[in-house]
Every structure is written in structure tokens, then in C-alpha cells.
Amino acid sequence: MFPLAARAAAVPQAALCSGPIFVFATFLAELYLRLPHPVALPPIGVVPPAILSSLLMLGFSAIVSAIVALIPVLVGATAMMGLSARFQPARLPLAWALAGAACGAAIAWALDAGPSISFGIFAASSGSAWIVRLRLWNAELEAELFGR
């Protein structure tokens, strides 16, 4: 159903993306939680080093998350591939994202994380599932169009 090369490439790609998604979603949740109060912006001279340190943090989070998220993403992708082979609505990317979100919500509840961390886990697991499905969907379309 899904080409082997696409399956082999989709899981590591989603695992690498889960860290930056987590960091960015947690950052946005923290800003949202501070919403009634103004957010202080740094002076212009401080912005380039802050951008550089943010990029380094995103790169580090991608490496660490690839190690942490590889097994859960692999298990989830395998389960959803098996389910989508038997149940047509499970082939939709939204179904994959909802399944990832449900798993992320269960993990956040089990860890008893705060609201911003919970939102980061929720967004990273949902985004990882979405990335895996879109990668597999593109491989399916390519196989149909070009006979690969």
C-alpha cells in the first residue's frame, strides 16, 4: 500500500521535526499565557544574537527529539498504516493528525505537565503524525502518476 522507501523516509523526517514543533508551540503557549500583560521586546542590537541562539536551540532540539521521538513515531505510523489499510477514512491526513493528537494528549496527561508543555507535546505529536501521512501521501501520488 505504501512504498517502502517512503515509509523508511517518513518516520525519521517526522522525528526530526517534532523537536522544533515542540519548542515553537511551547513558546507560543507561553506567550499566550502572558497575554493580558505586555510582551517586552528587546532592543534592536540584541535581536541578532537572540536569533542565532534561537536557531541553535531549534537545531539542538531537532537532534534530541529525533532520539526521543523515533520509537513513538515508528509505533504510531505502523499502527496507522495498518488501520488505514483496513479502514478507508483512516487514510485521511486529518485522521492521522487526530490520532497523533490523542496520543500526545494522553502523554501530557500522564506526565501531568503544565499548560504550555502540554500544548507543546500535543502539537508535536499531532504535527509528527501529519508529516508522516503527508510524506506517504506524496509517495502514493507519485507512484500512481509515474508508475514507481
Number of domains within the chain? 1
pLDDT in tens, 16-28: 889 899 988 998 8
Residues contacting 43, CB < 8 A, separation 6+: none
Q: Assess contact for 94 and 43: CB atoms under 8 A.
A: no
pLDDT in tens, 95-138: 999 999 999 999 999 999 899 999 999 999 999 999 998 888 77
- Report the pLDDT value the prediction gives residue 135, as an integer from 0 to 100: 84
Three cell numbers, residue 78: 505502523
pLDDT in tens, 69-106: 889 999 998 899 889 888 888 888 899 999 999 999 99
Q: How far is it, in rounded angstroms, from Cα 33 to Cα 70?
A: 30
State which residues form the domain around 53.
4-146
- For residue 135, give the amino acid letter: R
CA angle, residues 126, 79, 99, in degrees to nearest 5: 25
pTM over 0.85: no
